């Protein structure tokens, strides 16, 4: 009879696990409740607490997984809330191409979604994987190289400078000049420039000198100049638009180099989900590509400086018990804000 009871309890437990609610990673937003020594958890777009678990820290989901920290130990959490122990990690980045870059006293390495060390820790800094490869910076020797998911130097050489792969290409610097190579290491674009950016939306930035002044423009994948070097500075293209700096400030340009948001801001970032983050007088706000203000510049800081899944993480500085803290919240596209301090958990 005792064995039957144990069997039934086991069946009951298995059933509970199978019926555990699945976390929608596109509707799960990490938030810090309150200010000061308060826990983190996940909320949905309506500000509803979606998990009965709180953490010392938690990140956004990427590729179905996220990093959380409990009592100083990092774990990988999946969409069912299951935890895989990693250990004491000082840096845990998002998953890209199935791998996450982690770092600590042991150095830099990469783990998979099961918590397995795919690339053992090394002393050199590893950047996020992109299109199957990761950029590595050898700080001691002041050079860069690329590795595959086995940690192998795929081109067998180093570069003076380099960027991550994007749009099938990456830039590298050799003998002070930048060129673009493909995933086989073949040079496909040579340039006379000392500074370029990565390709985004088929365009890459470059820096030139005109009348002793440094100016920026954009190249296409044939190496042709498609937007003349007339800007004081530029960022990168996203969703067909890029951030650029003119004589009077930062604004947004289209693929023809025409201003679609007036260059009058202290800083802007390229649009995500058709929304642009802008800075004025050390405060941040958001504006649509149609020029309509979504939220005036009242926030002290932003997290990623863009919208993702309809929400943008914002924060304001507060003083509690004589200590300076950040109060976190999420801005929605209707201009309303869900503040973590107001959420009951």
Percent of the chain with pLDDT over 90: 81
- Please check whether residue 69 is in contact with residue 75, taking contact to mean a CB–CB distance below 8 angstroms: yes
Task: Calculate ∠ Cα 321-327-332, nearest 5°.
Answer: 160
Residues β-bridged to residue 233: 245
Who contacts 311 (Cβ-Cβ below 8 Å, separation ≥6)? 29, 45, 330, 331, 332
For the stretch 170-212, pLDDT in tens is 999 999 999 999 999 999 999 999 999 999 999 999 999 999 9
For the stretch 101-120, pLDDT in tens is 999 888 999 999 999 999 99
pTM comes to: 0.88
CA 34 – CA 327 distance, rounded (Å): 7
Residues β-bridged to residue 284: 279, 299
Instruction: Give, in order, the Cα–Cα distances in Å from 150 to each of 105, 134, 248.
Output: 22, 11, 48
Mean pLDDT of the residues in the chain: 91
Owner of token pair 């959420």: 343
């Amino acid at each position: 009879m005792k064995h039957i009871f144990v069997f039934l309890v086991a069946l009951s437990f298995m059933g509970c696990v199978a019926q555990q609610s699945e976390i929608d990673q596109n509707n799960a937003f990490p938030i810090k409740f309150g200010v000061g020594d308060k826990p983190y958890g996940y909320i949905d777009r309506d500000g509803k607490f979606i998990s009965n678990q709180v953490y010392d820290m938690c990140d956004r989901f990427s590729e179905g997984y996220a990093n959380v920290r409990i009592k100083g130990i990092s774990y990988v959490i999946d969409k069912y809330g299951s935890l895989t122990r990693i250990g004491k990690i000082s840096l845990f980045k998002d998953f890209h191409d199935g791998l996450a870059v982690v770092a600590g006293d042991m150095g830099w390495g990469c783990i998979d979604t099961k918590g397995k060390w795919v690339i053992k820790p090394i002393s050199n800094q590893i950047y996020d994987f992109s299109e199957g490869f990761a950029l590595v910076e050898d700080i001691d020797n002041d050079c860069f190289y690329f590795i595959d998911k086995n940690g192998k130097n795929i081109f067998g050489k180093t570069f003076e400078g380099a960027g991550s792969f994007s749009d099938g290409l990456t830039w590298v610097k050799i003998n002070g000049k930048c060129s673009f190579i493909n995933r086989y290491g073949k040079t496909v674009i040579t340039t006379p420039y000392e500074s370029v950016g990565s390709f985004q939306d088929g365009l890459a930035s470059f820096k030139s000198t005109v009348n002793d002044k440094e100016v920026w423009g954009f190249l296409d994948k044939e190496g042709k100049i498609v937007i003349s070097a007339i800007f004081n500075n530029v960022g990168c293209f996203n969703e067909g638009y890029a951030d650029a700096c003119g004589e009077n400030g930062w604004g947004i340009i289209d693929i023809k180099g025409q201003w679609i948001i007036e260059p009058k801001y202290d800083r802007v970032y390229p649009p995500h989900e058709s929304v642009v983050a802008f800075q004025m007088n050390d405060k941040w706000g958001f504006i649509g590509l149609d020029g309509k203000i979504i939220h005036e510049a009242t926030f002290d800081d932003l997290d990623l400086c863009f919208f993702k899944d309809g929400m943008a993480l914002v924060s304001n500085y507060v003083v509690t018990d004589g200590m300076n803290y950040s109060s976190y919240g999420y801005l929605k596209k209707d201009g309303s804000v869900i503040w973590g301090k107001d959420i009951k958990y």
